Structure 1
């Protein structure tokens, strides 16, 4: 098994370079600046496509984190490019926060304040500061954190409201995407606020920030995690009343390791031990979403007994890390075997060896999902590069 683990590390190290090579060679926008907003499955670049704040923050995070692992100057150069573009075009200098969407030339086309996008920008700026020691990145990460505390934090019931207008006023449509429920609080946003605050704490060990991280972990254990099943509830009203029964296998396994990462960051030993047991339970529960080939299905709706039989790239990336994490905690070999088998599935079905990067996903019939992007508002280098980085670090 030791040889298998070393092989796993070596293969992921090579794959990390492959992923980022794609983003260096195909996504740099020499016409409009920054990075292109859309590339289809066949590597056709759309230079006129709008650019999303989430995509650009994830590009910045990925190149910064890869530089922090490998010290490749090309990664830092692309991180610098991403940071400069975000600060010039996505930061709302009048009202704070970040714009959701800009056009190819950099003009805002959707100025709403989606907390999810702001969290990813905090995450990216914090990781970039670790790579560059650029004090303005740290300063802006803290400013964005304060925007979230001042405008989104629910001081009465805890947690964070989902979205606002440019001026931080209430909105009728709070949805992150068309597939989401229009509710005031969501698991997805809380997970990535937690992720952002955890990385910010590494560069800014503020006591109030520490308390907010602990409070977020408690929000998960008290409201978001279904204690009987070990699954996450996806949508809530302002009073934490559950508004969904959909199981998202990718988010369950992703949260299983991000919750522990947050607990370890604040150094609370009692909390760490509690979250470890939760992490293993969540990983154990996620086994219910595995197919026989080692891949993880997308979503399941219990009330309709409906399984969405798609295998998305990001779900597999999070499965690789989440099951590996569960093995590290429990020493149960089944979790390591699942992580390794999932990587075998990724190698055989998800990686595009011809044109580069990972396909969006595979259908139930094993066919590539043809209408999805290689690069887009949601298709980014973050999940797959992070899976490589996390497992390389853990094995090393």
Structure 2
């Protein structure tokens, strides 16, 4: 079971990266196309997102670091050069949210989530390329996050700022999000970014910020009764809403432990191991009979958002393998295998490549194959994690 899962995901990694190399390079305007539909038809005039480009950079850098395939490093370098040239704000620092198809500035919002993804990606690219500029820029972005976003009074990080790092009315990461000062999602990806930065730059103050972030998760974000993540908060950490995100539950279950292990904090490692099992079991409430993981649930109204998006399925494979490794309970390995079988059967586009956005009412959702949010990161990372773990 283990060997087949590892081999399947190794093969899938190659398929995913082949797709991105073949279909997404923007030969005319540089960088990568901003949008492709389900049939791989590009929108040549689509805006280009910071998150998409950072995730391409991370995915190809991480794949190069494992496989040493020089073609992957070439794509990573293309992404690094494009982000450096067009997304980095040369006037006020930080990363802008979107640029136009030809690289002109479109949305100058400084979303902390996007700053974090570029730190994450630049750190990974430094491991692949040993380009000192990547490390310097990652540290520079980290310093800006600490300077502008860190809440010295209540702890944690504020969501978003204007181009000049001033307060904003609309802090939302996407239209579906609540307009609140703090979110689980931003904190999870700041933690992930800081963890990767620490692996190339073991700075003592960075370690303290990672420890603080982990404590924020244990003290504020994880619901002590249900072990689901709370998603949105006001400045003082009062939670707003009860929405459950199964994909984030299972993603956080292994990312928190990874952070504790990278900084080598024995107490937080033990805490994270115990929490990983509880959070995995909480996420498991969202697994359907066919092995797919539902998207979200609103407990107050007992309303299931009955969609199975690509990324929670990818995170489920990793989260269940992580729980199996920690507990030695074979049921978790079976859960991981079931998740992968669901992906193979329903999410992989076997004719045209990559993964569909998701399934709703047993049909493929007509959403982007490539876009601001549809990137090669969750699925390629799941492949890399399983190759490493098994």
2:60 to 36, 39, 63: 63
Displacement of 1:18 after TM fit?
A: 0.1
Q: Does 1:44 align with 2:41?
A: yes
CA distance in 2, matches of 1:362, 1:20: 22
CA distance in 2, matches of 1:362, 1:184: 32
Displacement of 1:332 after TM fit?
A: 1.0
What are structure 1's unaligned runs of at least 5 residues?
none
CA distance in 2, matches of 1:117, 1:270: 30
CA offset digits 1:285-305 (Å, max 9, x no partner): 111100001110000000010
The corresponding residue for 1:384 is 379
The corresponding residue for 1:357 is 354
CA distance in 2, matches of 1:334, 1:164: 45
CA distance in 1, matches of 2:181, 2:82: 30
Q: Does 1:164 align with 2:156?
A: no
CA distance in 1, matches of 2:121, 2:359: 29
Partner-residue secondary structure (3-state), 2:304: strand
The corresponding residue for 2:15 is 18
Displacement of 1:351 after TM fit?
A: 0.3
TM (norm. structure 1) is 0.98
CA offset digits 1:228-248 (Å, max 9, x no partner): 110000000000000120000
2:179 to 178, 182, 195: 182
Where has structure 1 moved over 6 Å in runs of 4 or more?
Answer: none
Displacement of 1:306 after TM fit?
A: 0.1
What are structure 2's unaligned runs of at least 5 residues?
none
2:329 to 312, 329, 332: 332
Displacement of 1:102 after TM fit?
A: 0.5
CA distance in 2, matches of 1:367, 1:229: 31
The corresponding residue for 1:368 is 364
1:342 to 314, 339, 342: 339
1:30 to 27, 35, 44: 27
Displacement of 1:349 after TM fit?
A: 0.4
CA distance in 2, matches of 1:109, 1:285: 40
Partner-residue secondary structure (3-state), 1:311: strand
CA distance in 2, matches of 1:186, 1:274: 22
Displacement of 1:32 after TM fit?
A: 0.5
The corresponding residue for 2:78 is 81
Partner-residue secondary structure (3-state), 2:297: strand
How many residue pairs get aligned? The number is 390
1:249 to 241, 246, 251: 246
CA distance in 2, matches of 1:279, 1:99: 34
Q: What's the Cα RMSD here?
A: 0.5
Q: How does 1:1-396 map to 2 (within 5 A)?
A: 4-363=1-360, 365-370=361-366, 372-395=367-390
CA distance in 2, matches of 1:53, 1:208: 27
Partner-residue secondary structure (3-state), 1:289: coil
Displacement of 1:46 after TM fit?
A: 1.0
Partner-residue secondary structure (3-state), 1:203: coil
CA offset digits 1:233-276 (Å, max 9, x no partner): 00000000001200000000000000000000110111101110
Displacement of 1:121 after TM fit?
A: 0.2
CA distance in 2, matches of 1:79, 1:326: 31
